[in-house]
Amino acid sequence: MSTATWATADPYTTALRAGRGPLFLRRADGWLLPLEVERWCARADRVDLDVLDRCEGAVLDVGCGPGRLVAELAARSRTVLGIDVSATAVDHTVRLGGPALRRSVFEPLPGEGRWGTVLLMDGNVGIGGDPCALLDRAAQVLAPGGLLIAETSPVDVDERAEVQVVDITLTPSGAFPWARLGTPALLRYADRARWRAVDQWATGGRRFLALRSRSASSSAEAPDNTAVISSQRARKPSGDSPVADR
């Protein structure tokens, strides 16, 4: 999706500021997918915490939303960065104490090729509407052999569509491409892209898949153990820091 389209999704901005919905993704045929705004704006729950316990090294939360996961990792003194194309989401994350940048995953990112874990939570495996492109991009961002943890749909679905964000009044945002993937579909795409499935689980009505990227990359640098990244401004990187914001 384009940064401009999502960033001007006024119903989404309004819902994040209020901390509640109702909010939906709407397909062109009128079908609505409820979005869990209240959960996103709350603290990380036990299902989230289980995911965070599985993270390795420095963590990049793609589509971090209002930042509950970034804030929890930061509170644990873990190296983490959230990225989101919504300025409201980034501001909320920073207010919670988590570092975040207003950035699309398809734009240049700090620490490319050196992240230990990439998170695609809350349906963000659908970003851009092209699962293969998103998997390829995640492989570029991760260190060789890095971990991708994706939250998949609780139903077996493989769908790409143009959608809008709408509220209860059906006030729409601009349209943008999105995808919904169940675990079987993501496994198929991952296999084609030479990812290795390392775990899958379901808890609290939610489903997850952990994938390991290919172990060698001609373009990626060796991973670092720690990183220090500014929330909004670049600062001088330390000797063992992945990269400050560029």
How many helices and strands (H and E) does the chain possess? 8, 11
Each residue's pLDDT tens digit, 117-158: 999 999 999 999 999 999 999 999 999 999 999 999 999 999
Each residue's pLDDT tens digit, 43-70: 999 999 999 999 999 999 999 999 999 9
In the block, tokens 């300025």 appear at: 87
What is the reported pLDDT for 52? 98
- The alpha carbon of 158 is separated from its chain's Cα centroid by a whole number of angstroms, namely 19
Length, in residues, of the chain: 246
The confidence band for 222, taking pLDDT boundaries of 50, 70 and 90, is very low
Domains defined along the chain, listed by start = 50-164+178-212 (3.40.50.150)
Spell out the residues 6+ positions from residue 55 whose beta carbon is closer than 8 angstroms to its own.
Answer: 73, 78, 116, 117, 119, 147, 149
What is the reported pLDDT for 239? 29
Spell out the residues 6+ positions from residue 183 whose beta carbon is closer than 8 angstroms to its own.
Answer: 152, 156, 200, 207, 209
Spell out the residues 6+ positions from residue 56 whose beta carbon is closer than 8 angstroms to its own.
Answer: 116, 117, 146, 147
Which carries the bigger pLDDT value, residue 233 or residue 141?
141
